[in-house]
Amino acid sequence: MLRREGLIRGRLEGLLAELAQDPQSKSKFKGPKGQERPDLREDALAVLEASITSRLLDLKARELKDEGSGFYTIGSSGHEMNAVLGRFLRPTDPCLLHYRSGGFMAARTRMVGGETFISDTLLSVCASREDPVSGGRHKVWGSKRTFVPPQTSTIASQLPKAVGMAFSLERAFHLSHVKTKRTIEGLPSKLPKDAIVMVSFGDASLNHASATTAFNAATWAAHQHIPMPILFVCENNGLGISVHTPEDWIPSVFQNRSNIDYFEANGCDLFESMKVIKQAILQCRKARRPVFLNLRVVRLLGHAGSDVESLYRSEKEVEEMEERDPILSMASGIVSAGFATGVELLDLYRRLDERIQRIADKIVLRPKLDSVQEIMRPLQLPERESLIPCAEHVIAPSRRTEAFSGKLPEEDRPRHLALQISRALKDLMLIHPEILVFGEDVAKKGGVYHVTAGLFEQFGAGRVFNTLLDETTILGLAIGAAQVGFLPIPEIQYLAYLHNAEDQLRGEACSQRFFSNGAWDNPMVVRIASFGYQKGFGGHFHNANSIGVLRDIPGLILAAPSRGDDAARMLRTCVAAAKVGRAVCAFLEPIALYMTKDLYEKGDQGWSFPYPPPGTSIPLGVPRFYRAEKSARILVVTYANGVPMCLKARRDLGFEDSVEILDLRWLMPLPVSEVLEAAKACDGVLIVDECRKTGGGVAEALLAHLAEAGYSGAMERIVGEDTFVPLGPAADLVMPSVGSVREAMARMISKRVKP
């Protein structure tokens, strides 16, 4: 029982041989008669060809694995009825797929022509760098021409972005055709108004938090009559590897659920599936509301090549599943209906098998990825210089004057961080009409800290809107919106809340370019109220001092301004990195500095700065220096709240002559070369990192870079403790303070490492 490939192949070949000899020998599978529509024959044969192609590729993948030439054996066997979806959905209907979608892709690519599905799949299985989808980085399906972004998930985390895409399709059409009377740059004008989004997943993944939040968001929108044209397809084989799904579980949850239309089909019956799937697609397309399709299928050949089914299923159970093989019923039904003879089907099978074998013999010889640089190429950050024209783009002064009610912000007196970010957002939305701003409380309220105040009134509900209170939905919406041409600037209300949804950044947004060899992307700038030191209502939930989970994400740009003028110019660079460099950016805004106006004494306005007009920016990865007035002996490296803290400590000690302060500003990419160069002239380096000691911030990385560069001066760090932030005055005990920085500065100066 350990290996079933031969049995599966033999049963199919045996049936086709019998049908070729005697069309009635397996006639328990009945097909429609001549009164059915003429085009039914063409559709049925196309689905069967796609299904056989997918099955033979599954079997070949197992052979290649045995030979040491293939590296992926999770197949689509038993799920081939998803080919009906590939046949009936339009190429202009975006589709985000389950990993068992071989039949779907075989049918979908045939619909448009010019695709090489067999060789593409084999190149992917063999991890060849010539794989046109991922460049050999993983076995995924995808296609730009058929609007199938490569799948980045096996646990349904693609569902939130599918909901975001369905929501954004309607908004894109409205903004580009109805309201503005012109096509907004970057929006998908080629997608028809009645396009829908299809997303497929397994019955086990349906229970995942990412899936449940997507169902909730879709029905929440539908409840308010917000168009949500999404077709959820659950390919229900009854197993999550070895864990059984109760037979009535899915209908009990979805059949009578409000604001979603339920369909169910036997995924082992071709003609029933064709009828029901067509109805489900039509309902979604016409009603513009969520539709759920429970497609009951079987899983053949185990979860993957390494799965030993005998550990959790009896041989009888496995054989019963194999008897329900959908291709067996397809072939018998097609012959019974008179759509083809058994001889024709056997000939089709043999031609496909021979073709796959012939192509595979060539594919195994194709080159693999062979350098770190090549592997990481899709993750490379954009070059600084490439972003400047976009970051410093300007528009007609008259438009700005009107938007700012007659007085430009650069004509105002110096102001605090929150207001300058708000002004920068308004300028950016004037320049880039594809920008959307959304999140919790960002519309009429203007955000908890008033950063988005006035944007709703200026740009309307089409571009500035509230979401439901769910961070996974917010980020999923951003990904989906980006993939249909918007430039999203979502807001996460607090850094601590990000952890509910961080996989949407790590596993989805930032992995898309990697898994698509740079062909697909989802550019965005995620604004996050961040860090600690907030007074009034604090504690861990509103003071999160760990960014390790963000710095760990490959390809993510991480900005952390400490002052208003820097924030405005850095935000312009982040938008340019998203628009031009197609990057994902996280913009960390220090909560405690939002309203801070003074630096040394009350009323000195030392932390208020003039608004920098459009036309200026801060290049990616460039820090700010607060120079020593004479010869610097100590270099203090810090960011965000640490900057005014270190400036205060330096002034308290009277060390303006000998202490230089470097504001990193960018935490990914870190300005390492600038730090190392500045350190050369100093006796010691003090790193003030408000985040947690162990993996929470940047101190460990900076110390490692200094050590690896052979820096011989003294090195110290002041960091947060490895704890959550407590409420009230106790918070001051676990994070850096002016006092602790002052003590460290004095100690390092007194050591006189270099007389």
pLDDT at 24: 58
How many angstroms separate the first and last alpha carbons of the chain?
78
Answer whether 665's CB lies under 8 Å from 659's CB.
no
**Do the bridges between strand 666-668 and strand 556-559 make them parallel or antiparallel, or are there none, so unpaired?**
antiparallel
Q: Do domains 5-160+193-366 and 624-751 have the same CATH topology?
A: yes
Residue 591 φ/ψ, nearest 5 degrees: -55, -45
pLDDT profile of the chain (755 residues), mean per 10:
86 95 57 63 97 98 95 95 98 95 96 91 97 95 92 84 95 74 57 94 94 98 97 96 93 96 98 98 98 97 88 90 96 95 96 98 96 96 95 95 95 98 98 96 96 96 96 97 96 94 94 95 97 82 90 97 98 98 97 97 97 97 96 95 98 96 98 97 96 95 97 96 91 94 95 53
Q: If you search the block for the tokens 């607090």, which residue do you land on?
A: 494
Beta bridge partners of 696: none
How confident is the model at residue 310, as a pLDDT? 85
Note the pLDDT of residue 32.
Answer: 61
- Say what the alpha-carbon torsion angle 627, 633, 634, 637 is, to the nearest 10 degrees: 40
DSSP 8-state code for residue 80: G
492: closest CA among 426, 541, 424?
541
**CATH architecture, range 5-160+193-366:** 3-Layer(aba) Sandwich (3.40)
* pLDDT confidence of residue 146: 93
SS (H, E, C) 367-420: CECCCHHHHHHHHCCCCHHHHHHHHCCCCCHHHHHHHCCCCCHHHCCCECHHHH
Fold held by 624-751: Rossmann fold (3.40.50)
DSSP 727: S
CA dihedral 465, 609, 731, 670 (to 10 degrees): 80
| 608 residue type, one letter | S
* pLDDT reported for residue 298: 97
Tokens of 213: 């939040």
Which pTM does this prediction carry? 0.95
For the chain, give every domain's residue range. Answer: 5-160+193-366, 378-593, 624-751
- Residues 6 or more apart whose CB falls under 8 angstroms from that of 3 comprise none
CATH class of 378-593: alpha beta
Task: Give the three-class secondary structure for 526.
Answer: strand
Phi-psi region of 508 (alpha: psi -120 to 50; beta: other; left: phi over 0): alpha
Nearest to 648 by CA among 529, 740, 749, 720: 740
Give the largest CA-CA distance in the chain.
Answer: 100
Strands (DSSP E) contained in 5-132 are 95-96
Neighbours of 755 (CB within 10 A): 4
Euclidean distance between CA atoms 162 and 616, whole angstroms: 36
Asked if 734 and 704 count as a contact pair (C-beta separation under 8 A), the reply is: no
